[in-house]
Amino acid sequence: GQQVMQIPQYQHVQEGEDFTTYCNSSTTLSNIQWYKQRPGGHPVFLIQLVKSGEVKKQKRLTFQFGEAKKNSSLHITATQTTDVGTYFCAGGAASGSRLTFGEGTQLTVNP
């Protein structure tokens, strides 16, 4: 079955440093989504990418979908303490199909 792997599992940064998490799928994806889960909270949808090579930005967050539609990345510029949480990618094999979640990257930011 489809597998989605995410690295690193943990990342500790100083406030102001950049952060990147990577997501790799064993199969070609129709779309990839990214979620953020604050400690003790529930996952919150951030963005969906559907096109090969697509790049989207949300303020300090940059999301990229690979050309082969098998990998993706989330980059945060100049982290802030409000960025703390676990970031999940989730891949869909077909439009409207169920998502397979990666194991997440837990980000801690030291002030």
- The binding site for another protein (CB under 8 A) comprises 1, 6, 9, 33, 35, 41-48, 88, 90, 96, 98-104
Judged by beta carbon, residue 43 or residue 66, the one nearer another protein is 43
Q: 3-state DSSP: the chain helix, strand, coil percent, rounded to 5?
A: 5, 55, 40
DSSP class of residue 42 equals: -
Judged by beta carbon, residue 76 or residue 89, the one nearer another protein is 89
Residue 32 has a CB neighbour count (10 Å cut-off) of 27
Judged by beta carbon, residue 66 or residue 104, the one nearer another protein is 104
